[in-house]
Amino acid sequence: MNDNLSVKNRKVSPSVTLSITAKAKKMKKDGEDVISFGAGEPDFKTPANIRNAAIEAIEKGHIGYTAASGLPELKKAICEKLKKDNNLEYTPENIVISNGAKHSLFNTFQAICNPGDEVIIPVPYWVSYPELIKMADATPVFVKTSEENGFKYTKESLLNRITKKTKAILLNSPSNPTGTVYTEDELKEIAEIAVKNDIFIVSDEIYEKLIYDGRHVSIATLGDEIKDLTIVINGMSKCYAMTGWRIGYTASNKEIAKTMTNIQSHATSNPNTIAQYASIEALRGDQSPLKDMVKAFRERRDYMVDKINSIDYLSCKKPKGAFYVMVNISEIIGKKFNGYKISGSMDFAQYLLDTVKVAVIPGTGFGNDNYIRLSYATSLDNIKEGLERIEKALN
């Protein structure tokens, strides 16, 4: 039977992030006192004005199909947002609204990739990038980054990996899992390389409003040539606490947008109609809840970083954006704790879950086994208790 299944899709790996989180949730459901630093999901309620807009849409009967690529009014709101926040000029024809930013990424790689194409991604990377690229019959090409350099591409590292097969460079700023934020000068170097070599930039900007040091710059703002080569990925989930609403979007040149629209029209049709109406309110309505979220995340980040760096064997750099900390566990590798031999990040994650009931994401899922990722999208009380448990496990 298995011999008859898709060879390509049988090779797709499951998400380490979601599998660890699912296990932690099951333990909680079974009555165990688990603290999870797992999946990236704000622990805030979706703001009331957004929830009310969804209810109003239901009551008015706005529940039917929309155009496959999304509501025209939401596309207008997205264009307004891109102009106001990013100084980017787009028309609704450039916008494709999808079922979350992950779906937007899927559409993007399906639209631009051919068999044998290569897409450059940084290590550490978000767990789904390599699999999404492989699902488009392309090959992920990994560029190792260093903690000392803020987990960023360098000009030399990119040039060393570019070949005639290079179709795109994946850029994620602010980054999951590292919290890296690229400066304008760093983006200019990447843009020059892309333009010179006629390479697309897939710019995942889903965490753009969650920045604590510096500012967000979209690479698409750095000239008409790089804008034409850039597919901007964004969405509602992280900044508006709308993870389950599943609304993402892309901004790109019209040819790419048309191709993605055609793909989506056959794959899923339109994204959730009610969530689209709610997203219009999110983009145009009161933005103060977002400011409150950023303030809380900054406080949690500062506490987490200070505490981690006070624990024996652990260290980390202070991330500038998103809501993750990459924790260096290289001093733990090869050691034994309470009879557990720690050979890598998966062993350490299992050890913490088994002994002190703390869920973390192993770095092997992000391409670097010397790290674990902690999310501070949980309460400060949980962070304090969870880190105390980790310290206890190491003592």
Regarding whether 293 and 255 lie in a shared domain, the answer is no
Q: How far is Cα 165 from Cα 103, in angstroms, rounded to an integer? A: 24
pLDDT for 136 beyond 90? yes
Q: What's the CATH code of the domain at 361?
A: 3.90.1150.10
Regarding whether 385 and 270 lie in a shared domain, the answer is no
pLDDT for 45 beyond 80? yes
Burial class from Cβ neighbours inside 10 Å (0-12, 13-18, 19+) for residue 245 reads buried
Closest listed residue to residue 236, CA positions, set 204, 305, 177, 283: 283
Q: Please, which residues bridge with residue 140 across strands?
A: 119
Regarding whether 95 and 33 lie in a shared domain, the answer is no
Structure confidence by residue, pLDDT tens digits, 284-336: 999 999 999 999 999 999 999 999 999 999 999 999 999 999 999 999 999 99
Structure confidence by residue, pLDDT tens digits, 107-125: 999 999 999 999 999 999 9
Determine how β-strand 324-328 pairs with β-strand 336-337.
unpaired
Domain that holds residue 15: 2-45+289-394
Regarding whether 304 and 277 lie in a shared domain, the answer is no
Q: How far is Cα 277 from Cα 95, in angstroms, rounded to an integer? A: 16
Q: How far is Cα 200 from Cα 182, in angstroms, rounded to an integer? A: 18
Q: How far is Cα 357 from Cα 35, in angstroms, rounded to an integer? A: 6
Output the six-digit token pair for 177: 């899992």
Measured at the CA of 193, the angle between CA 187 and CA 197, to 5 degrees, comes to: 145
The domain boundary, picked from 268, 284, 300, lies at: 284
Regarding whether 31 and 59 lie in a shared domain, the answer is no
Regarding whether 63 and 36 lie in a shared domain, the answer is no
Regarding whether 185 and 81 lie in a shared domain, the answer is yes
* pTM confidence score: 0.95
Q: What's the CATH code of the domain at 145?
A: 3.40.640.10
The domain boundary, picked from 284, 310, 339, lies at: 284
Regarding whether 27 and 95 lie in a shared domain, the answer is no
Regarding whether 244 and 117 lie in a shared domain, the answer is yes
**Residue range 20-36: mean pLDDT, rounded:** 86
Regarding whether 184 and 157 lie in a shared domain, the answer is yes
**Residue range 213-223: mean pLDDT, rounded:** 96
The domain boundary, picked from 284, 306, 335, lies at: 284
Average pLDDT value over all residues in the chain: 95
Q: What are φ and ψ of residue 199, in 5° steps? A: -115, 135
Regarding whether 238 and 92 lie in a shared domain, the answer is yes
Number of independent structural domains in the chain: 2
Regarding whether 68 and 159 lie in a shared domain, the answer is yes
- When mean pLDDT is compared across 33-42, 159-168, 380-389, the lowest value belongs to 33-42
